[in-house]
Chain A
Amino acid sequence: MNTEKIIYGMYDDEQELMGAAKSLVSKGVKVTEVYSPFPIHGLDPIIGIRPTRLGDMAFIYGLFGMTMALIGMRYFMVVDWPMNIGGKPNFSLLENLPAFIPVTFEFTVLCACHGMAITYMFRNKTLPGMPASNPDPRTTDNMFVIELNTADNKDFSSEQLSGWLKETPVVELTEKVYTIQEEI
């Protein structure tokens, strides 16, 4: 049995939270998580959150959509059932490309947007029926919370961590003890 502590420091202003996070990080503390009602600009580099790669994923999904659209239209219109429209038959993909641009574009956007949105949901684990995990209901309203986990901060005692939090303009300080079952 191993007891660890989670310390929540609550702030009523995002600038104060950012200042507190800065001072904690400068002491070598690892900020486990921050909960806020809206995105705090400038916080990510302080607490060591790397830029997301969802944009790159969108590009890949878009490429997939574009390829599928072109392969599909070539099959339908050129290979399987070439139509002769007004004396302008479909002989090759290249000759028909101008007419295929709109659908190619739409399908690219469709795949990129939905692919990215689905990836976003899965990466966040925000899916229908998922339970909420914010420590306090006020964090979706007007409060901002820093979460420090002693498991991430082996070099410091929990007293040290909460002491440092108290030096910042923290509004509320709560601690939660939890136990980790060690593997035998």
Chain B
Amino acid sequence: MVKEAAIREPLILGNKSYSDITNDVISPIMNKAPKAWYVLISIAAVIALWGLGCIMYLIGTGIGTWGLNKTVGWAWDITNFVWWVGIGHAGTLISAVLLLFRQKWRMAINRSAEAMTIFAVMMAAVFPGIHMGRIWLAYFVFPVPNQFGSLWVNFNSPLLWDVFAISTYFSVSLVFWYIGLIPDFATIRDKVTDPIRKKIYSLLSFGWSGRAKHWNRFEEVSLVLAGMATPLVFSVHSIVSMDFATSVIPGWHTTIFPPYFVSGAVFSGFAMVQTLLLIMRKVMKLESYVTIKHIEYMNIVIIVTGSIVGVAYITELFISWYSGVEYESYAFINRFSGPYWWSYWSMMTCNVISPQLFWVKKWRRNLSFTFVMSIIVNIGMWFERFVIIVTSLHRDYLPSSWTMFYPTWVDIGVFIGTIGIFFVLFLLFTRFFPVLALNEVKSILKSSGEEYKNKPDNHNHH
């Protein structure tokens, strides 16, 4: 057994055995759901249904029901798309990048973070889909042979790169997640007694039996998938940023965008993980696995990425003046002092100033404070996309076409609705899926468990 430095805080608290880990994680699946779960899923389902209704109304009537106008042709739709894709970056970052860096603390959070990633990317995909107006023609984004005089999609366009990036990211994340889930479904299969459930979980577990050779392959697949998912995470949001950066709109035409967007995505993704995990660990009694130390580690990632985002904002502002391009500098002056000044300053407060509070150790280990901060960061990151998109567009080159963007009830309804759908999916996940990677958590029990760390010698524990 590899011994870990004694000064490292344990990642599994209390006196846990392997079967305790199994029972703690799958007892929510075996037992009846608590009342709070029914209350939460009902609220989420109502919001989700409202959102679906708005989407159907939108598809039936047309995107004229949004508040878009001739000058602001992109507003909440793309804002929400980028916001959701950004949130979807934490899961794969946690499970892939932290796997490559051998960070053991990822093991307690990667499963739920990946679930969050998958659901967030699904929500993101809603927006370009419905923005097409005629969603039944969505297959046109793929290079399918057709009768229109062999008309192909434009491979020089970042919007098409986005199609490839998002679909690759979604499907690879899904496969990565499911491969990790198979052994844990097998654990549930061997544990449940109800015949119907046993049947469902044995179907889901693909007949996994935990043979040594299979584990050998499992680890190789996890490592190689992590190795490929790591550049994939960075490429996806870089490509999303190129949707803007390769255009010629002042405020968008910026080479700093790819790294700035990627760190912003990780920043907002971790904030969403915090929001979800802080509730989950409490409701599902997982405090021994998702410890204060885990929360602190994630808050440290939030400080780092939040600071990168802050530097990017200021660099952008400086370069807009230093470049000497008057259109560029006007776009930025308009951002912080124009009619949308409030959104710029909310973004600055939420994303640049507030994460710096985590430098105080006591605060970053405080759960209520972290929870409030995670919400603030997500609001800030939504404003960031709104600022970039709407304030760069609303004052066109011709002052005669200057305008403002006002969301309609459909804009608001679709956005709120996707939050509802997201929470419905996540709540279903917590009810029926193992929310912790059982096999991975068990494998670090002896190196990072509190009981084993406090023993004088890890080798002779019998």
Residues of A within 8 A of B (CB): 13, 15-16, 33-41, 43-44, 47, 49, 51-52, 54-55, 58, 62, 72-73, 76-77, 80-81, 83, 85, 90, 96, 99-100, 102-103, 105-107, 109-110, 112-114, 116-117, 120-121, 123-134, 137-142, 169
Closest A residue to B205 using CB positions: A132
| With known contacts A55-B224, A132-B186, A114–B171 Cβ distance under 8 A | yes
Cβ 8 A contact of A132, one of B143, B207, B228: B207
Which residues of chain A are within 8 angstroms of B149 by Cβ–Cβ distance? 81
Main secondary structure of the interface of B (DSSP, over half): helix
Cα distance A112–B105 when bound, in Å? Answer: 28
Closest A residue to B189 using CB positions: A132
| With known contacts A15-B1, A110-B171, A110-B172, A35–B17 Cβ distance under 8 A | no
A124 close to B22 (CB less than 8 A): no
Binary interface encoding of chain B residues 211-231 relative to chain A, with 1 for a CB under 8 A from any of its CBs, else 0: 111111111110111001101
B18 to nearest A CB, angstroms? 4
A35 close to B443 (CB less than 8 A): no
B216 close to A49 (CB less than 8 A): yes
B165 close to A132 (CB less than 8 A): no
Interface size class on chain B is: 35 or more
Cα distance A132–B182 when bound, in Å? Answer: 12
B212 close to A43 (CB less than 8 A): yes
| 7 closest cross-chain pairs (CB), A and B | A130-B207, A137-B190, A142-B18, A39-B215, A126-B206, A76-B152, A134-B209
B443 close to A99 (CB less than 8 A): no
A52 close to B220 (CB less than 8 A): yes
Closest B residue to A55 using CB positions: B224
B217 close to A123 (CB less than 8 A): yes
Cα distance A180–B1 when bound, in Å? Answer: 41
Which residues of chain A are within 8 angstroms of B219 by Cβ–Cβ distance? 39
B18 close to A133 (CB less than 8 A): no
**Most chain B beta-carbon neighbours within 10 Å: one of A38, A105, A137:** A38
Closest B residue to A103 using CB positions: B164
Q: Mark the stretch among B33-41, B155-163, B275-283, B299-307 that contacts chain A.
A: B155-163
Offer 19 A-B interface pairs, CB within 8 angstroms, sorted by A. A33-B211, A35-B212, A36-B210, A37-B22, A37-B210, A37-B438, A38-B439, A38-B440, A55-B220, A109-B229, A110-B171, A113-B228, A123-B217, A125-B207, A128-B206, A133-B209, A134-B186, A134-B210, A141-B191
Interface status of B175 (Cβ within 8 A of chain A): yes
Cβ 8 A contact of A142, one of B17, B168, B172, B183: B17
- Total inter-chain residue pairs, C-beta < 8 Å: 203
B209 close to A35 (CB less than 8 A): yes
Interface status of B203 (Cβ within 8 A of chain A): yes
| With known contacts A38-B439, A100-B155, A110-B171, A127–B207 Cβ distance under 8 A | yes
A107 close to B439 (CB less than 8 A): no
Cβ 8 A contact of A110, one of B168, B183, B214, B218: B168
| With known contacts A39-B443, A102-B164, A106-B235, A141–B225 Cβ distance under 8 A | no
Cα distance A33–B179 when bound, in Å? Answer: 22
Cα distance A22–B211 when bound, in Å? Answer: 18
Which residues of chain A are within 8 angstroms of B203 by Cβ–Cβ distance? 128-129
Cβ 8 A contact of A131, one of B150, B207, B225: B207
Binary interface encoding of chain B residues 123-157 relative to chain A, with 1 for a CB under 8 A from any of its CBs, else 0: 00000000000000000000100000111111110
A37 close to B207 (CB less than 8 A): no
Cβ 8 A contact of B208, one of A77, A129, A132, A142: A132
Interface status of B350 (Cβ within 8 A of chain A): no
| With known contacts A39-B216, A44-B212, A127-B206, A120–B156 Cβ distance under 8 A | no
Interface status of B442 (Cβ within 8 A of chain A): yes
| With known contacts A102-B165, A106-B168, A126-B208, A116–B224 Cβ distance under 8 A | yes
The A-contacting residues of B in range 434-448, CB under 8 angstroms, are 438-440, 442-443
